[in-house]
């Protein structure tokens, strides 16, 4: 084969490979968008409204929304790819450190109001795809609002003690005896949708109480009452079927024909975009939770009356 023929063959090989590479990139962005929706990123990081420009920013994760906690109000940051105000200057490794380790761009500890304790369980591909998706969004040059934390809870150096006590960063282990649906649901519930973050009571330092996991959180973030979603029949959702849980995740409708509101409304905006198979997997895992009967009156549902 001559030099010209060899060069032509090489060029053809490159041209044939290009659509595949573009397809892989498009697939990664689509997977990243899926994780973005499933994790409810927009619900926390959505920008402010109030004007035409604001409405456009509200559709992007430009930050600014506040989360009221017993420790003060924490503001979600801008996570669009703006290089100055957002994460446009972040490398994928820095993004991964934020999600997996709770370490910011400059090495600072992130406040655990950001659920890195859950995101530490995300697998490598989901982190990479989420990073790719966020970097594909339009940049919004909107400055971050400062946190309004009560002393001493706004002092980042003190987080080293909190992390030593409450953050292990251990990845999820699959349980072969449980089956594919349960394991997928376990991953979605704990690592992606971080359901435990709202539906579990916290101790006086704001850490989850593992022994009461999913048993509800009265007067939780933004003073919302997250209900008991264990399989307890009296105070949880033990009487719900798999189909009932799947229906709520898709439409926001409870078996009693109420429509969820408050924080759960934002969650459903994400879970409604999941595949039927993933909503089923979440339902399978939730139905497997051991019953915990809450002694206090069960929190009011987040349904709009």
pLDDT for the residue 298: 52
Number of domains within the chain: 2
Looking at the structure, tell me whether residues 268 and 225 fall in a common domain: yes
Looking at the structure, tell me whether residues 57 and 160 fall in a common domain: yes
pLDDT for the residue 59: 83
Instruction: Answer yes or no: is 221 within a domain.
Output: yes
In the DSSP assignment, the letter for residue 163 is: H
Looking at the structure, tell me whether residues 58 and 152 fall in a common domain: yes
Looking at the structure, tell me whether residues 67 and 107 fall in a common domain: yes
Instruction: Answer yes or no: is 209 within a domain.
Output: yes
Rg (CA), the chain: 21
pLDDT for the residue 151: 93
Instruction: Answer yes or no: is 175 within a domain.
Output: no
Instruction: Answer yes or no: is 16 within a domain.
Output: no
pLDDT for the residue 82: 97
Burial of 128 (0-12, 13-18, 19+ CB in 10 A): middle
pTM: 0.87
Looking at the structure, tell me whether residues 129 and 217 fall in a common domain: no
Looking at the structure, tell me whether residues 241 and 156 fall in a common domain: no
Domain hosting 133: range is 22-166
Instruction: Answer yes or no: is 293 within a domain.
Output: yes
User: Are 131 and 92 within 8 A, CB to CB?
Assistant: yes
Separation between Cα atoms, residue 301 and residue 305, nearest integer Å: 10
Which regions of the chain are under pLDDT 70?
Answer: 1-24, 48-58, 219-222, 296-305
Residue 73 host element (H or E): strand 72-75
Instruction: Answer yes or no: is 26 within a domain.
Output: yes
CATH code: domain of residue 231: 1.10.760
Instruction: Answer yes or no: is 3 within a domain.
Output: no
Looking at the structure, tell me whether residues 131 and 197 fall in a common domain: no
Looking at the structure, tell me whether residues 193 and 146 fall in a common domain: no
Instruction: Answer yes or no: is 17 within a domain.
Output: no
Residue 186 host element (H or E): helix 180-187
pLDDT for the residue 224: 75
Looking at the structure, tell me whether residues 141 and 43 fall in a common domain: yes
- Assign 4 to helix, strand or coil: helix
């Amino acid at each position: 084969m001559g030099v010209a023929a060899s060069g032509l063959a090489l060029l053809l090989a490159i041209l044939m490979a290009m659509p595949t590479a573009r397809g892989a990139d498009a697939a990664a962005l689509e997977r990243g968008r899926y994780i973005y929706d499933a994790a409810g990123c927009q619900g926390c990081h959505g920008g402010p409204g109030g004007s035409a420009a604001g409405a456009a920013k509200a559709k992007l994760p430009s930050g600014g929304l506040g989360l009221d906690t017993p420790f003060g109000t924490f503001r979600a940051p801008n996570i669009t790819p703006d290089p100055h105000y957002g994460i446009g200057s972040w490398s994928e490794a820095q993004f991964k450190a934020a999600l997996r380790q709770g370490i910011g761009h400059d090495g600072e500890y992130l406040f655990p109001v950001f659920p890195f304790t859950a995101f530490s369980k995300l697998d490598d591909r989901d982190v990479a795809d989420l990073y790719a998706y966020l970097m594909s969004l339009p940049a919004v040059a909107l400055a971050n609002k400062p946190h309004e934390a009560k002393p001493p809870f706004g002092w980042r150096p003190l987080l080293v003690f909190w992390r030593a006590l409450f953050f292990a960063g251990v990845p999820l282990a699959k349980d072969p005896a449980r089956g594919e649906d349960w394991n997928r649901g376990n991953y979605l519930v704990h690592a992606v949708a971080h359901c435990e973050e709202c539906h579990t009571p916290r101790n006086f330092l704001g850490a989850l109480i593992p022994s009461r996991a999913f048993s509800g959180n009265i007067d939780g973030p933004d003073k919302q009452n997250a209900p008991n979603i264990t399989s307890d029949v009296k105070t949880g959702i033990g009487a719900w079927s798999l189909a009932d849980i799947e229906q709520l995740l898709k439409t926001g409708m409870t078996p009693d024909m109420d429509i969820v509101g408050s924080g759960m409304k934002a969650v459903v905006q994400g879970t409604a975009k999941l595949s039927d198979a993933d909503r089923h997997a979440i339902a399978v895992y939730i139905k497997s939770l051991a019953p915990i009967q809450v002694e206090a009156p069960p929190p009011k549902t987040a349904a709009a009356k």
